[in-house]
Amino acid sequence: MNIKEKFIFFVKKYNLVSSGQKILLGVSGGPDSLAMLHLFCELKEDWDIEIAVAHINHSLRKESDKEALFVEEKAKKYGIPFYIKKLKKGNLQKNSNSVEAAARKCRLEFFNEIIENNDYHILSLAHQKNDQVETVLFNFFRGTGLRGLSGISPQSRINGINIIHPLLEISRKEILLYCQKQNLNPKFDKSNEKNIYTRNVIRNQIIPIIKEKINPSVDDVICRNSALIKKEDQFLNQISDEMYIKSIKKKNKKEIVLDLDELLLNDQVIVWRIIRKAYKVLNNNLDDLYYDHVMEVYSLIKEKKTGKSLDLPFDIKVMISYNKVIFRKNLDSINPEDNKFKFKFKLLGEVRLNELQSIKAEFVDKEEVEFSRDKKICFCDFEKIKSPLYVRSRKDGDKFVPLGMEGSKKIKDFFIDEKVDKRNRDQIPIVADSEDNIVWVAGFRVSEKVRIDKNTTKVLKLKLINEGDKNAE
């Protein structure tokens, strides 16, 4: 197959593009991205798609401005929209210890801004077969596990962006010949020849030695193995994702709380993946999370000592609190108001509190009342409640009379007695009536004031539902 046939075959094989889609192409001006641009231009009418070009000028080299102008002229020639962003000289070095990581972050932010403002469906990047080989080796030396050894995926989602890599089965040599044949005149980044970055050392020194001394077909071998590893990795991810959801007690953009005992029911391989999952959810990626970090978190979990904690990259902290493992992002910046909530209750229905929790209400016959130990179920005398009901977070001064007690108790004191971590107390759902009398501290205790007695004629059943409970049913 020629390069165009390979491109079409790969796109169809992985269903990367659909009719009617708007696709943003990341184009640097180098041979890979120019070849990708040319192929999309050749096929856009047949595939019924719209394309546009995005270029970011990192201002890292003296040729940067000329390359940006070159890409802009290519876009004009093809008659497609062009977006550009120029960074101030020295910004990347100033803001990060890793220029490569900072550049990648800036590119993704720029692409995301274009996609959101202009309704593009997909971002297409020009990583090719040799990039795949270098990535697998880079990840192997870094120690990233199966995920890293599976390399670059044909399609992925990063920071909310749907990304495709349609050139992954096309080699650098094929692309250079295609550019020559199509007179594309790509620009070459001379810094790729300097062995100042790890990836350049792999490309310019390590791989040539392997080809000369060990196996001249190492590119094919690595790509084939990475494809097999990817399938095994996906299978393990499916299992760990199910266990992750089952373990979640609380989740928001700054914090994830996992059930420690539920977590430890799994094999250590699954726990390692759940740790990585929690980190990725809070950080939007796995950047700078290494094997040693995962092992340290796993040891912390196994130790089960309340109050112990450790710090991970990007201001993520992991703590143990009773039977909970808490992952928290930017500890000092958390605003307690972020956790406040209040919903009006719909009787004979379900009120969703967040993506993981809801409370279901229904009327039942008095004969159906079962006084079990399940704290997620509450039975109360509906005629003792001032409708409508609300579900809210706690407030200062909250009090109620716990079932079985005579005097009232402050919610704060109740939570202390129940060993509820103070950082989690604002997330406990509290059901209150129209006069703000507390009916039920969901998952803990119903109020004595709405208890069922011999004179009860109308019983309201409330049930706290966790997403993990649904999955287990």
Tens of pLDDT along 189-201?
877 777 877 889 9
Ramachandran angles phi, psi of 255, nearest 5°: -155, 140
pLDDT band at 98 (very low <50, low <70, confident <90, very high): low
- What does the pLDDT read at residue 452? 92
**Out of 137-141, 264-268, 328-332, 428-432, which region has the weakest mean confidence (pLDDT)?**
328-332
Token pair 């169809």: residue: 12
Residue ranges of the chain that CATH labels 3.30.465.60: 227-333
Find the angle CA(79)-CA(80)-CA(82) to the nearest 5 degrees. 125
Token duo for residue 148: 């890293």
For tokens 């978190």, what's the residue? 297
Q: Which of 317, 96, 100 is nearest to 199 (CA)?
A: 100
Which one, of 381, 376, 341, lies nearest residue 360 by Cα?
Answer: 376
**Predicted confidence (pLDDT) per residue in 202-225, tens digit:** 999 999 999 999 999 999 999 999
Cis ω for the linkage preceding 388 (within 30 of 0): yes
In degrees, rounded to 5, the angle at the alpha carbon of residue 289 between the alpha carbons of residues 266 and 160 is 90
Instruction: Evaluate if residue 111 carries a pLDDT over 60.
Output: yes
- The two structure tokens encoding residue 70: 């070159």
What do you get for the CA distance between the two ends of the chain, in Å? 50
**Higher pLDDT, residue 94 or 263:** 263
Domain with residues 3-216, CATH architecture: 3-Layer(aba) Sandwich (3.40)
Cα 462 to the center of its chain, rounded Å: 32
Question: Residue 1: what pLDDT?
Answer: 87
The mean pLDDT value for 457-470 works out to 79
Average pLDDT of the residues in 348-353 = 80
Q: Where in the chain is the domain with CATH 3.40.50.620?
A: 3-216
Exposure of 93 in the CB half-sphere (CA atoms within 13 A): 6
The phi-psi region of residue 450 (left if phi > 0; otherwise alpha if psi is between -120 and 50; otherwise beta) is alpha
pLDDT tens string 403-412: 988 889 999 9
pLDDT band, very low/low/confident/very high, at 301 (cuts 50, 70, 90)? very high
Judged against a pLDDT cut of 70, whether residue 335 lies above it is answered with: no
pLDDT tens across 273-283, in order? 999 999 999 98
Tens digits of per-residue pLDDT, 34-74?
999 999 999 999 999 999 999 998 887 788 899 999 999 99
Q: What is the rounded average pLDDT for all residues in the chain?
A: 88
Residues 6+ apart with CB under 8 A from 406: 448
Alpha carbon distance 154, 165 (integer Å): 5
Closest by alpha carbon to 24, among 154, 156, 159, 164? Answer: 164
CA distances from 399 to 256, 352, 409, 462 (A): 28, 24, 5, 20
pLDDT at 120: 95
Query: In DSSP terms, which residues pair with 316 in a beta bridge?
Result: 312, 329
pLDDT in the model for residue 91: 61
Residues whose CB is less than 8 angstroms from the CB of residue 9 and which lie 6 or more positions away in sequence, other chains included: 1
- Give the model's confidence band at 14: pLDDT under 50 very low, under 70 low, under 90 confident, else very high: very high
Q: Which of 46-50, 145-149, 293-297, 437-441 has the lowest mean pLDDT?
A: 145-149
pLDDT 10s digits, 120-164? 999 999 999 999 999 999 999 877 778 889 999 999 988 788 999
The pLDDT assigned to 473 comes to 44
Categorize the per-residue pLDDT at 366 as very low, low, confident or very high, splitting at 50, 70 and 90: confident
Phi, psi of 411 (to 5 degrees): -60, -40
Where does residue 355 rank: exposed (0-12), middle (13-18), buried (19+ CB within 10 A)? exposed
> Which of the two residues, 63 and 7, has the higher pLDDT score?
7
Examine the pLDDT at 332 and tell me if it is beyond 60.
no
pLDDT score of 143: 73
CA distance 282 to 303: 23
The mean-pLDDT minimum among 98-102, 365-369, 458-462 falls in 98-102
Given a cut of 90, whether residue 181 has pLDDT beyond it is yes
Encode 76-93: b = buried (16+ Cβ within 10 Å), e = exposed: eeeebebbebebeeeebe
Task: State the angle between helix axes of 129-142 and 218-247 in degrees (0 to 180), rounded to the nearest 10.
Answer: 60
Domain 227-333 -> CATH class: alpha beta
Residue-level pLDDT at 234 = 92
Q: Across residues 338-349, what is the average pLDDT?
A: 75
- Mean pLDDT is lowest, of 227-231, 322-326, 333-337, 387-391, for 333-337
- Over 60: is that where the pLDDT of 96 sits? no
pLDDT at 400: 95
Confidence of residue 241 (pLDDT cuts 50, 70, 90): very high
